């Protein structure tokens, strides 16, 4: 899709508008991002976020979901929100292209099928990326980290039922620093973000006590404490 601009003294101009998606998940205690490898110039061989043009009569969120389903077969998204719009005139060397990016989260128990030219990469160990996509991924990571402090957004990364140890691993991978399981349980229970279920799961080690299973009270985004912040451990672990 093209969008018009006043263009200053040179008169009206037309710009292309694309939609991008930063798809994040936690696997093996690492926060991962979905990327596909470009097979043409510019940036041939580098890795790109799933993207595509905005349709002439299409909403931004609808466009993001459509491109994820069509290009990388991602249909099971637990949470998606608009992240930011990039308007640097030189972000695409071919022509000016406005880009609206979305953050999309997938739960740990969902394994979508992806094409052969698409792979998951740890956010901290990204390959060479095309355009400004590396910077957009950093913005998405920072948004997720911030929202883990003051919302219940962890629901979008966790399975329906989980142990506190599993939830700790999800938070630690996303935040990028160790998290105390005891403090995490205390904080999220006190805020009524999670609650115990009647289920338990036996530990892998023989002879251990069964671990209680928990669930998120609400599996849609809500603000739980607007002034809270999970911080790296320094003297004491936890959140303020």
User: What DSSP string runs through the chain?
Assistant: -EEEE--GGG--EEEEEEEEEEEEEEETTEEEEEEEE--SSSSTTSEE-SEEEPPTT--HHHHHHHHHHHHS-----SEEEEEEEE--TTSSSSS-EEEEEEEEE--TT------TTEEEEEGGG---BSTTHHHHHHHHHHHHHHHHHHB-GGGGTS-SSB-HHHHHHHHHHHHTS---HHHHHHHHHHTTSEEEEEEEE--SSTTPPPEEEEEES-SS--BS-TT--B---SSS-SB-
Cα–Cα distance measured from residue 96 to residue 100, given in angstroms and rounded to the nearest whole number: 13
Record the pTM: 0.90
Say if residue 8 is exposed, middle or buried (CB neighbours under 10 Å; 0-12, 13-18, 19+). Answer: exposed
Is it the case that residue 11 has pLDDT exceeding 50?
yes
User: What average pLDDT is seen over the chain?
Assistant: 91
Is it the case that residue 111 has pLDDT exceeding 50?
yes
- Asked if domains 2-137 and 151-216 share a fold, the reply is no
Place of tokens 């609400």: 218
Say if residue 190 is exposed, middle or buried (CB neighbours under 10 Å; 0-12, 13-18, 19+). Answer: exposed
For domain 2-137, the CATH superfamily is Nucleoside Triphosphate Pyrophosphohydrolase (3.90.79.10)
Is it the case that residue 122 has pLDDT exceeding 60?
yes
Is it the case that residue 145 has pLDDT exceeding 90?
yes
Confidence (pLDDT) at 72? 82
For the four alpha carbons of 42, 48, 49 and 50, in that order, the dihedral sign comes to positive
**Span 46-77, pLDDT tens digits:** 999 999 999 999 999 999 999 999 888 888 99
Work out the percent of the chain whose per-residue pLDDT is above 90.
80
Mean pLDDT of 175-197: 96
Is it the case that residue 208 has pLDDT exceeding 80?
no
Mean pLDDT of 20-36: 97
- CATH class of this structure's domain 151-216: mainly alpha
Reported residue count of the chain is 240
Tell how strand 97-105 and strand 13-27 pair up. Answer: parallel
The domain spans of the chain are 2-137, 151-216
């Amino acid at each position: 899709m093209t969008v018009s601009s006043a263009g200053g003294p040179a008169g009206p101009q037309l710009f292309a508008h694309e939609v991008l998606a930063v798809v994040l998940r936690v696997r093996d205690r690492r926060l991962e991002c979905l990327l596909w490898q470009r097979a043409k110039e510019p940036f041939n061989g580098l890795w790109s976020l799933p993207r595509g043009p905005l349709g002439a009569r299409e909403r931004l969120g609808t466009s993001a979901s459509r491109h994820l389903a069509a290009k990388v077969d991602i249909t099971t998204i637990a949470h998606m929100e608009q992240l930011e719009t990039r308007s640097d005139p030189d972000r695409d060397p071919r022509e000016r292209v406005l880009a609206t990016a979305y953050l999309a989260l997938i739960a740990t128990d969902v394994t979508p099928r992806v094409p052969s030219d698409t792979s998951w990469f740890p956010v901290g160990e990204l390959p060479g990326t095309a355009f400004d996509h590396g910077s957009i991924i950093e913005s998405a990571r920072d948004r997720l980290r911030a929202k883990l402090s003051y919302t219940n957004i962890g629901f979008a990364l966790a399975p329906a039922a989980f142990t506190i140890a599993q939830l700790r691993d999800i938070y630690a991978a996303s935040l990028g620093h160790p998290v105390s399981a005891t403090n995490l349980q205390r904080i999220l229970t006190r805020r009524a973000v999670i609650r115990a279920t009647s289920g338990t799961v036996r530990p892998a080690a023989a002879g251990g006590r069964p671990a209680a299973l928990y669930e998120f009270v609400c599996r849609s985004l809500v603000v739980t404490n607007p002034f809270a912040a999970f911080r790296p451990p320094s003297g004491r672990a936890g959140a303020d």
